[in-house]
Amino acid sequence: MRSVSIPGCCGGLQLSDFGHTPNAGYQTNHTEEEIEKFLKQNIDANKGYKGFLVAYLNQHQVDKIGKIFTKCGFKKSKPKMHPGHGNNIYMLTRNLNDE
């Protein structure tokens, strides 16, 4: 898993490489505990420095690990069909100013 700056935006970070999908660039399926720890570390480390965190998950990932994001305060967008993946994708955002 990793967090990277969003090009052209110093106020946000993109979180990626969670696995749990046949389309994952890295076929590492992190445990729920590892994912929750990663999310909480990014939330704690970036409060006061960044405005938001964003992650893009496909339907496979939302079904398997989406509840972890919800538990950590992320809000899920409406699904959008991704023709290249053949299923829905979602944008999950965490506003770091909501505290």
> What is the domain-level CATH number for residue 64?
3.40.630.30
How many folded domains does the chain comprise?
1
Model-level pTM greater than 0.85?
A: yes
Which pLDDT value is given to residue 24? Answer: 59
* Average predicted confidence (pLDDT) for the chain: 87
pLDDT band at residue 82 under the 50/70/90 scheme: confident
* Distant-in-sequence, close-in-space partners of 80: CB < 8 Å, separation ≥ 6: 88, 89, 90
One-letter amino acid of 46:
N
One-letter amino acid of 48:
G
Does 35 have pLDDT greater than 90?
yes
Question: Of 1-5, 17-21, 74-78, which gets the smallest average pLDDT?
Answer: 17-21
Q: Which domain holds residue 53?
A: 2-95
Q: Which two tokens stand for residue 80?
A: 């959008």
